[in-house]
Structure 1
C-alpha cells in the first residue's frame, strides 16, 4: 500500500468520525452549561453594584438569554452554520475575534511544552533503559516520579522564586517586554524568555510520563527478534538503538502525545493564570468567572477540534513509523 493511499484513508476515516463527534460535543457542552447557576447578566449587574428588574430583563433580551433553551441552542447552531461563534456579552465583541487574539499564545505555549516534554522524556527514558536495574535508572525513576507527583501550580511558583526572584534570569510573568520595540530575531528572543518558565511548568508533568513509557517500550523492543538480527549483522549499538529500538518505541509515545493535547489545554488554565500568560486557558477561566458561556462554548469547541487534529497527526505519524498500522486501518 502506498504512503499516499494510507494518508488518504486515515484522513477519510478521521473526517467521518470527527463530524458526529464534534456535533455531540457541541450539544453536550451546551446543555451542561445551562445547568450552571447564573448568567452574564447577573455578573454584569453585580459589577455595576445594583440593577433594577427592568435592567436585568433588558440585558437578557439583548443577548438572547431569556429565550427557551432549545431556541438558544437553535440560534447557536445557526451561528455555527455561518462560521460564527456568537457575541460575547462580557467583552462586547465577537467570540471568534476574541479567541483569535488568544489562540496563538496558547498554541505556541503548548507546542513548546510538548516539545520539551517529548525531548527530555525520550532522553531520560533512553538512559533509564540503557542502565536498567542499575543506580542511574533508579535515580532517574525517582526524579520522574517527583515530576509526576508535584502539582503544576507549585512547580510554577517555585520556578518563579528560583529563576525570577532569586537568580533574576527570567521574567516572572507576561508575554513580552512592555513598551519594547523589538523586531526580528530580538523579538523572538524576548518572546522566548517569557515562555521558558510557563512552558517548562506545563511540560514537567508529561516528562515523567514519557520517560517511563519510553523506558518500558525500549526494554520491550530490545527483546524482539529483529533487534537481535540487527546486532548479528554487525550494526553498532547506536545505530540499532536509534534506527530500530527507538523508532518502534516511538509508537506508544506518539499515541500518548495525541491524548495529552486535551490535558495540556486543561493545564494551561493554571499555568496561564500563574504566569499571566494571555491565552485560551486564562480566557476560559475569566469566562467561567464572568458566566460568559458563549465564550466558553467557543473555547470548548475549538479545544475539541484541536484534539481531533492532534490525533489525526498522530495517526499519520504512526502510519509512517510502522506501515503495518496504516494497512490495518
Structure 2
C-alpha cells in the first residue's frame, strides 16, 4: 500500500512537472513577436537572410511540435536551452543567480521560524496578556500587507530616517576585493532588510500557529505533571511543550517554502538583490 501510494504520488508529480514545462514552452512560443527579431534587435539593419540564419541556429524554423519534442529531450538531459535575450545557456544563467536566491530564502525561512515560534510561545504563556494581543494583531497585519509594500517602506525608513542598513544590492563595491570574513559580513549586512521583508508574512503566520499549538499542548496532562514535579516554567515551555507543539509548525514551514521562493522574486526586485528575480 505504501509503495503503491508513493509511486502514484511520484507519477502525479512527474505529470505536473511535464505540464509546467509544456505550458512554459507554449507561452513563450505563442507570445506576440518573433524571437529572431529579439535576438537580432541590437544588430541594426537586419536582413531576412540573417533572420533565417538565426531561426535555423535556434531551431525556430521547425514546426512547433518538433520544437517541443527537441525541448523536452534537452530538458531530460539537463539542457534548458539558450536564452534568446542574454544569448547564454539557461543553465549558466541559473547557476549565476540561484545562490543569492537560496541565501535569501533560507535566511528568511530561518528568521521567520525562530522569531515566530518565540513570539508564539511567549503569547501562549500569558494568553490574556498584552503580548498575546500584540501577536494576534501583528499576525493579521503582517499576513495582509503586500511584501513589496513592506520592502518599499523599509527602504524609505532606512534610506532617509535611520541609515543603518544598505537598501540595495548584495555587497559593497569597496569590499569586493576584501578578505572572506569581511565580504561575508558585508553580505549579511545587505541581507537583513530583504530577508526581514520576505520573512515578515510567514513570521506572523508561524507566531499565530505556534500560539494556538502551544495553548493546546499546555492543557495536556503531562504538562500538569511536569509542573507538579517542580519543573521550571522555562523547562515546561521550551523542553516539554514546544517539542510537541512544533510538529504543525514544521509541517506548515515545509509547505510554505515554495511560496517563499515566489515571494523572493518580488523582494529581489525591490532591493535589487542579484537573484533569480532579476
TM bin, normalised by shorter chain, reads 0.7 to 0.9
- The residue number in structure 1 matching 2:157 is 162
- The residue number in structure 1 matching 2:243 is 247
State how far apart, in whole Å, the 1-side matches of 2:11 and 2:103 are: 26
Does structure 1 residue 265 correspond to structure 2 residue 261?
yes
TM superposition score normalised by structure 1 = 0.75
Does structure 1 residue 74 correspond to structure 2 residue 74?
no
1:267 Cα deviation (Å)?
0.7
Trace 1:98-247 onto structure 2 (pairs within 5 A): 98-180=93-175, 181-247=177-243
Answer with 23-32 or 41-50: which moved more. 41-50
State how far apart, in whole Å, the 1-side matches of 2:181 and 2:7 are: 39
Query: What RMSD over aligned residues (CA atoms) do the two structures have, in Å?
Result: 2.6
TM superposition score normalised by structure 2 = 0.87
Structure 1 unaligned residues grouped into runs of 5+? 1-8, 283-329
1:176 Cα deviation (Å)?
0.7
1:99 Cα deviation (Å)?
0.5
Does structure 1 residue 25 correspond to structure 2 residue 17?
yes
Structure 2 unaligned residues grouped into runs of 5+? none
Question: CA 1:49/1:205 → structure 2, altered by over 3 Å: closer, same or farther?
Answer: farther
1:179 Cα deviation (Å)?
4.3
Question: What is the CA deviation profile of residues 77-112 of structure 1, one whole-angstrom value per residue up to 9, with x for unaligned ones?
Answer: 322332222222221221111101111100001111
1:65 Cα deviation (Å)?
2.8
Which protein is bigger by CA-based radius of gyration?
2
Q: Check the 8 A contact 1:128/1:140 in 2, yes or no.
A: yes
Q: Say which SS state the counterpart of residue 280 (structure 1) adopts.
A: coil
Q: Check the 8 A contact 2:35/2:84 in 1, yes or no.
A: yes
The answer to which structure, 1 or 2, has the higher relative contact order (CA under 8 A, 6+ apart) is: 1
Q: Check the 8 A contact 1:265/1:281 in 2, yes or no.
A: no
